[in-house]
Structure 1
Amino acid sequence: MFEVLVFVYENYWRGDACPEPEQLGRKLSAHGFEAEEIREALHWLDGLSLATQGMQIERSVEDPASATVRLGGPPEAALPQSSDSMRVYSQAEQEHLGAECLGFIRFLESSNVLPCGLREIVVERAMAAPGDPVEIDELKIIVLMVHWSTGIEPDALVLDELCESREGRTAH
C-alpha cells in the first residue's frame, strides 16, 4: 500500500490534482501495482479525504510555511492549544504506533511542523494503516500524505527528513 501512496505523492503535486478514485485505480493498475495494493491505498486515501474534509487552514503572512489548522466549525468554537498541553495516547495507539513513531510525531510537533489538528489526522491515518507497530518510514509517508492532502508544503529541511532513508546517514 505504501508504494502506491508514494507513487501518488510523486505524480500528483497536490491532493486536489489527483484524479477520481476509479481513474486513479486504472492508472495505478497500468503502472503495474497489484489490485489488492490499489484497493488498500484507495480506501486509505478515501479516509484521508474524509479526515481533511471541512478543514480550515490559515496561513501566516509572515511565514507562509506555517499554518493554523481548524477541524471544522466556526473559528470561535475552537479553543487554541495551550503551549503546555499534552496529547495522551490510548493503549491501542501506543501499541499500533510504537515508541519510535510516537517520538517522531512529538519531534514534528516540537519543531512546529505538525500543528495539533494535523497531528490528529496523522494519528488517525496511522491507526488505519497496516502493521503492528507502524514502521517509521511508513509514518513519514503518512505525514507527507497528510501535508499533500491539505496543500501545505513542508519546508526543504522537513521534506529531507521525511523523504530520506535513515540508512547510510552519518550522525554528526
Structure 2
Amino acid sequence: MIDVIAFLIEHFQDFDACPPRADLGELLEEVGFDDDEISDTLWFVEALQHEALISDDVLNQSTAMRIYTADETEALPSEVRGLLHFLQENGALNPEQREFVVDALMNLPDEDITVEHAKVLALLVLWAHKSELPILIGEELMAALNGEMLMH
C-alpha cells in the first residue's frame, strides 16, 4: 500500500487530479501493483474524500493530549509516535489527520509499521487536504517517498 501511495503522490500533483476510482484501479493494475495493495489504498483515498468530522476551528483550539491504547503502544514504535507528535505540535497534522494516520498504520502488517511508512501516510493525508507545510517538514516527509533521509 505504501508504494501505491507514493506512486499517487509522485504522479498526481493534486488529489483532485486523480482519475475516478475504477479508472485509478485500472491504472494501478497496469503499473503492476497487486489487487490487495490497490484495494487498501483506494479505501484510504476514498475515506479522505469525506468531509472532516470536526471543524478546523475546534481542532485548532484543542489542547487535549493523545493517549495511545495498549494495542497502539505495542504496535506503533516510539519513533512513529514521536513523529506523529512532532507533526501535530508543529502544525503539519491536526488531530483528526493524526488519527487517520494512526488508523492506517494500525491496519498495516507489523513489519510495515515504520517511521518511513508513517511519513508516507502523513503525506497522503496532507496531499489529500492540500495542506501547506513548513519547508523542512515537507522535505523530510517527501524524502520518505524516495527512501532518502534528510534530517535525523
Instruction: Give TM-score, length-normalised by structure 2.
Output: 0.82
Q: Which amino acid aligns with 1:10?
A: E
Aligned to 1:54: 51
Partner of 2:136: 157
Q: CA deviation at 1:25?
A: 0.8
CA deviation profile, 1:68-108 (whole Å, cap 9, x unmatched): xxx34696xx47312xx311111111122221100111111
RMSD of aligned residue pairs (Cα, Å):
2.6
Unaligned runs of 5+ in 1: 56-70
1:114-133 mapped onto 2 (5 Å cutoff): 114-132=93-111
Q: Which residue of 2 aligns with 1:19?
A: 19
Does the aligned pair in 2 maintain the 1:101–1:136 contact within 8 Å?
yes
Sequence identity percentage: 30
Could you say which residue in structure 2 is the equivalent of 1:60?
none
- Unmatched 5+ stretches in structure 2: none
Contact map agreement 2:140 2:149 (CA 8 A) in 1: no
Supply the AA of the counterpart residue of 1:128: N
Q: What is the aligned length?
A: 149
Task: Kindly provide the amino acid, as one letter, of the partner of residue 141 in structure 1.
Answer: V
CA distance in 1, matches of 2:62, 2:141: 25
| Structure 2 contact 54–96 (Cα < 8 Å) conserved | no
Distance 1:138 1:27, change over 3 A: same
Q: Which 4+ residue blocks in structure 1 deviate beyond 6 angstroms?
A: none
Contact 2:75–2:113 under 8 Å retained in 1: yes
Distance (whole Å) between structure 2 residues aligned to residue 124 and residue 115 of structure 1 = 14
Instruction: Please identify the structure whose Cα radius of gyration is greater.
Output: 1
